Structure formats: C-alpha cells, structure tokens
Structure 1
Amino acid sequence: MTSFFRPNIDTMAGYTPGEQPKPGTPIIKLNTNENPYPPAPGAIAVLRNLDSEWLRRYPDPYANEFRQAVSEAIGVPRDWVIVGNGSDELLNVLMRACVEGDRKVAYPMPTYVLYRTLSEMQPAKVIEIPYSADFRLPTAALLQENAALTCIATPNSPSGHAVPLAELRQLAAGLTGVLAIDEAYVDFADETALPLVEEFEHVIIIRTLSKGYSLAGLRLGFGIAQPKLLAGLFKVKDSYNIDAIACHVGAAAMRDQAYKNACAQKVKEARSQLLIDLKNLSFRVWNSQANFLLAQPPQNNAEALYLALKERGILVRYFKQPGLDDKLRITIGTEEQNRLLVEALIHLV
C-alpha cells in the first residue's frame, strides 16, 4: 500500500507526551513538571476581563506587548526576543531554519526527547552523544561534531543537572553553528546562560512560561538572541503564531517577577525535602536544579513502582529506554502532594 507520508515520517517514532488525565480527575499529577501553584493574580485578572475585540481581530504577529514585558523583566532589548507557541515551537523553528539533510543536529543524551523527534521530521542527521555517569557535558565530542545546531538543556531533563556557565562558554566559543541553550527550568536553578547571548551572535536562550510561571496550558515561550540570528527565525515562524489572549496573559505574568520567584522558592524548598525523604527510603536521587527529581528505586523496579503508584492515583514519569528504565522522574508538588507520595512509597518499597 502506498504511504501518504515522506519516508522519514513513516519510519520515525512520534514524541510521546506525559499522561494527561481528564480535568477534575482525583489524581496527584507529578509526571509532566507543571508548577503546583496557580498563575500570578494579574494573569488571572486578564482572563476575567477578556476583551472580545481580542478574539475578533488577528493578534500582533510579533507579540510586542509580551516582548516588551520580557525586555523589562530580564533586561534585554525588545528586538532580541522572539515569541513562540510554547518553547517547543521555537525549537521547531530552529530546526526548520538551520538543519536538513547533512546539516547536523547534536546534543548530549539523555535529554529532552523532542530534539530527536524534530530532527527526524526535517529530516536531519542526528548526533547523540552520551552523558558520562556524572552528567558532565561532553564538550570535546560536541565541538568535534560542530553541528549546524547544537542543543543543550540546562537544567536538563530528566536528570535535573545544570551545565556550568564556563562549560557552555567554552562550547559556544568553539562552535560555528547555532547553540540553543534550553532553559525551560531556569526559574528553579542557581545560574543562567543569558550572558552568552551578548558574547556570541550564534547563541540563543530558549525559555517557557510553562514551568516557573504556572502557565503550561497557555503554550507560551520565548527565545533571546541577537537580531542577526532572530532575522532568519522570523522568516520561518507562522505569521500569527501567538494568540492575543496568550500575549496579554503572558505579559501580565512576566511583569510579576516577585510572585513567580516566591512560587519557585517554595518548589525549591519542597525539592530539598523530597530528596531527603526519598533517600531515607533508600532511593538513589540525583541533585536537581529543576522542579523534579530523578530517582532510582532500591529494587530497580521503576516500571512496577510507576504502575503501583498509578493505581493509587499518583502519576510519575517512567521512561522505557536504556539508561532510564530503572528510574522515575518525579515532579515536585505541593507539600501535601509530596507527603502523600512518600506515604504511598513507604508501603511499596
């Protein structure tokens, strides 16, 4: 039977998102790294005072209100900001603009699996370089590949480790292609790679409002790079990729950095406590600068434990792939959610 699709689409495996229970389902959801706290009050107020005119007209194609809010919050020029329908769209735009055929995409593994999916969609030549056991960045190997696009998630998922700024600077200095630094979890980290954008015209920082700002359902992300790099990306993005509601809500959230930082601090404190609780249950737990922990059960029975927790109404993330199939990735919840998780684990390990 003749296929409808390009050969690479036929052979690739699509990205598998984390389980999303129906709204109102009585479940503790610790599997997709959502923030357990509500969005900023100002963001909610925008929704409550929704102007129907926003729906009748096309939105600003550059989401300039949101770009201005990013500029003021982070201290970068507005024309150094590009806005996407989630940071995932910006990754897609980068792939479409920078790679195809023999133009390579390189990244260390394990990391965000969407990098592979987007590369295969082009298609582009994918170079996956294993992390060492201690998750040191394989800088020399990445420099040797010198790919058209190199992607580094820091803090990384699912490990939670952050790549030191000095190592990222060394990598940027040696690459001639684009270096995309994915900072989806930066709001829970100790350091940002933002200074590298000023130093290197081929570096882009990618961020999202899904994690630190509690707006995963809004689908809003942004990239920060010098205008020379952004000029090519603007050619590729959809004309009206950000809807008007997302632009206004996101701008309100971005303007309330104090609220975001307070919620992030609660997550970091809960992360420290959950790490202790899991270690007390003989889990091996990796230090994390994200809003989740990577944990290895004492009996290496991660899949069975994931299923047993699911039966008890608690969702965590299990990856059935080499190097991760004996581990669980656990999103940091509220104090109450984390307590219920630990109580369930006491009876299961």
Structure 2
Amino acid sequence: MTMILPHIERLPGYAQGEQPPDGTQAIRLNLNESSYPPSPEVVKALQSIPEETLRRYPDAKCDKLRTALAKHYGVREEQTFCSNGSSEIISLVMKVFIGPHGKLAIPDPSFPLYHSVAASYQAECIGIPTRDDFSIDVEQLIHSGAQAVVLVNPNAPTGLLLPIEDVERLVREFAGLVILDEAYIDFAKTDESAVALIARYSNLLVIRTFSKAYALCGARIGYCFGNEKLIAALEKGKDVYNVDAISRELALAALKDHNYMKTTTDAIKRTRDRFSRQLASQGFIVVPSHTNFLLCKPPARSGCPTAEELYDTLMKQNIYVRYYKNPRLRDYLRITIGTDAEMDAVLMALGQILEQNGKKCDE
C-alpha cells in the first residue's frame, strides 16, 4: 500500500541539467549561472555575519530586504514579496491562485518548471504554441480560456524578448492573473521591465531573482511585485521564515552594489553577441537573445552531427550545455554565456567536431 498521492507518483519530475561529478574540471554552460562571481560586497557581508544570526529566527516578512527592493524599484513595501528563490513563488502561485483543476496558460516552449509545479498541484498547464520563429502570440494567450497566464520575458529557453507594449496589452486584455517572470530581464538589450505596470494593473505579478544577474544561485533569493492583495495572499500561503537570515544579507549587499551587477551583465552581453556572431560564422542558426544564454541550431548540412550528437560529444569533453527532447527544441542546443575564455574553448571544440565530420558533410 503506497502512501504517496497518485498524481505525485505519476509525475516524471522536473528534468534538471546535468551536473559534473564532484572534483571534475568542467565548463558548466547548462544552468544559466553567472560567468562572474558575486559583488565583492557580498563576500564582505558573508564574512561579517555574526554567530547570533545563525541561532535567531529572522523576521518573517524579510522586512529589510523588502524595504530595499521597494525603494530600488520605486514601489511600496506592501507590493513586494521575498522568497526562497523564484521557484518558491512559482509554487505559491499554484497553491494560492490556481489550485487543483485550475488552468494556467504558458507559451510553448518556455520554462518547463511551470508545467511540473502545476502538475504537482493537480492544475492544468496549457501550452500555447509559439510561432515558427519562437515569437509569442499574445492574441492566443489572451483568448486561452485559462484563469492565469505565465509569460517568461525574456523567454527561456528561446532568449526572445516580448516588447513592453505587447506585455501591457496582455495584462490589459486578459481577464485573469498575468504572471510575468523576468528572471533574465537584466540581460536584455533594452529596458523592457514591466514592474512599473503594477501601479496600473491589479492582475499583474512580476517575478524577479537574484540568481542570474546578481550571481547568487546558491543563496536562493527570489522576489516579486504586485497589487497589495496579491502580495498579502502570497504571505498567507508561504512557509514561515521562508528566506534564511544569511541569504537575505547577501541579497542586500548585492542590491546595494547595483553598479557591479550592471558592469558584469554588460560584459556578459558583449560576450554573448560576439559568441553569437562566431556561431553564425560556423553555420549555426542562432535565435536572437536577450538573456545570458543562446539557443542555436547546428549546421543542417547532410552528414553533420545533430544537436543531440553535439551535446553528447561536448559532454565527453567535459563541456556541459543543455539539450531538450521537446519536439520544438530537439534540433537546438542552449548554451549559457560563460567567460570569454570558456566561450573560446566551446568554439574550438565545436569547430573540431564539425571539422572531423567534414568528410561526411556536403557543403
């Protein structure tokens, strides 16, 4: 007799990116981690945390960080929520706003965690196909018939950005809740954040994270902005003391050193654009990216390796990139932007693989 709920037992689970074995010297370009370390101010904050911080419960609402975030983004504290990574907010959205047998619409392809979490709460996640070029059809999302819509912007894993005017149209015309996931917005070529829209629309929740641009994946700090009623509902649904005392201090230090974040994200964007051009020169089709990764399709010449074959070959060389079996993505690789040296190593490896297959490739 099993004690596991049937719908949980049936779940395939979220397909995470491969992790190299401990001690392996590898180039990790499959999890969209930052290629730069956190701000030196974060390191200082970590080294200065007193022992009392470890034995005392933190304040339940993460007040200091909430205040700092509200000030930084020009919103009110009552419109701000802090979480154990943005993944906690995704779970809370299902728990608080969607519920069992509820319906959530999301472009396809997009961040698959939303599908996994929805299924764990017995909600239905409806995939709305993107166009052939992966651009998002706002009209279909508006008329999806779901009670909520998720828009990851820039989208993952495509890297494409939906312009702010289209985002606002979605929020204005959709009858339910719009969850806007801006995990990668700091890597966009233009400022298209929708945080300011929460002042005009009560049905908008904007999710952000310290994992990407601020290089704090390991600290697990997320946050979001929305109407006061939405934020109050999240507070009711969350676990008590959901953000640990150490992580919130690191996030505060990172936020205060905004100039460092801007410097590193600008550097990543330069490397991304250079790497994109170099991939194209090798015959890859590269989807224009506003993120810290690229979605690219290997050369389609007869006899050349497929995306899956390239993935396997790179893995054997301890170069970790991402491959999806999703029908829309199986011809593509997603490659996180690392340091210039790491991207040069990837280009060299790809060039050698393609050259070795050159005898089979019909130019």
Are 1:142 and 2:141 an aligned pair? yes
Letter in 1 for 2:248: C
Deviations 1:56-86 (A, max 9, x none): 0111111111112212322222221101111
Asked if residue 92 in structure 1 is aligned to residue 60 in structure 2, the reply is no
Please state how far the C-alpha of 1:338 moved relative to its aligned partner.
Answer: 0.5
Q: Distance in 2 between matches of 1:238 and 1:146?
A: 31
Moved more, 182-191 or 294-303: 294-303
CA shift, 1:7, in A, is: 2.0
Shift of 1:195: 2.3
Where structure 1 has 5 or more consecutive residues not aligned to the other structure, the ranges are none
Query: What does residue 76 of structure 1 align with?
Result: 75
Which residue matches 1:231?
A: 232
Question: How far apart in 1 are the matches of 2:140 and 2:2?
Answer: 38
The offset of 1:100, in angstroms, is 2.4
Q: Is the 8 A contact 1:100 1:122 kept in 2?
A: yes
* Counterparts of residues 168-247 of structure 1 (less than 5 Å): 168-189=167-188, 190=190, 191-247=192-248
Deviation at 1:300, TM superposition (A): 6.0
Aligned residues: 348
> How much has 1:23 moved relative to structure 2?
5.1
Alpha-carbon shift at residue 159 of structure 1 (Å): 0.3
- Give the match for residue 360 of structure 2: none
- TM-score normalised by length of structure 1: 0.97
Q: Deviations over 1:188-240 (max 9, x none)?
A: 01221122211101101101111000000110010011211111111111111
- Using the alignment, how far apart are the partners of 1:20 and 1:59 within structure 2? 32
Conserved? CA contact 1:73–1:257, under 8 Å: no
Deviation digits for residues 84-140 of structure 1 (CA, Å, limit 9, x no counterpart)? 111010111111001123321111110000010011011012211110112332222
Q: 1:167 to 1:49 in 2, by over 3 A?
A: same
Local SS of the residue matching 2:15? coil
- For 1:341 and 1:33, the matched residues in 2 are separated by 15
Name 2:361's counterpart in structure 1: none
Cα drift, residue 258 of structure 1: 0.3
Mark the runs of 5 or more structure 2 residues left unpaired by the alignment. Answer: 355-363
Please give the secondary structure, in 2, of the residue aligned with 1:145. coil
Aligned to 2:357: none
The residue identity in structure 1 corresponding to 2:25 is P
8 A Cα contact 1:300 1:327, kept in partner: no
| Backbone CA RMSD of aligned residues | 1.2
1:128-167 mapped onto 2 (5 Å cutoff): 128-167=127-166
Distance 1:53 1:23, change over 3 A: farther
SS for the counterpart of 2:101 is strand
| Amino acid of the structure 1 residue aligned with 2:345 | L
Cα distance in 1 for residues equivalent to 2:116 and 2:305: 28
Q: Match for 2:284: what amino acid?
A: F
* Structure 2 CA distance for partners of 1:82 and 1:23, relative to 1, 3 Å: farther
1:262 alignment partner in structure 2: 263
- Matched letter for residue 213 of structure 1: Y
What TM-score, normalized to structure 2? 0.93
Matched AA of 1:254: L
Cα distance between partner residues in 1 of 2:75 and 2:194? 13
Q: Counterpart of 1:89 in 2: which secondary structure?
A: helix
SS in 2 for 1:275: helix
Distance in 2, matches of 1:203 and 1:292, equals 26
* Distance across 1 between alignment mates of 2:45 and 2:77: 22
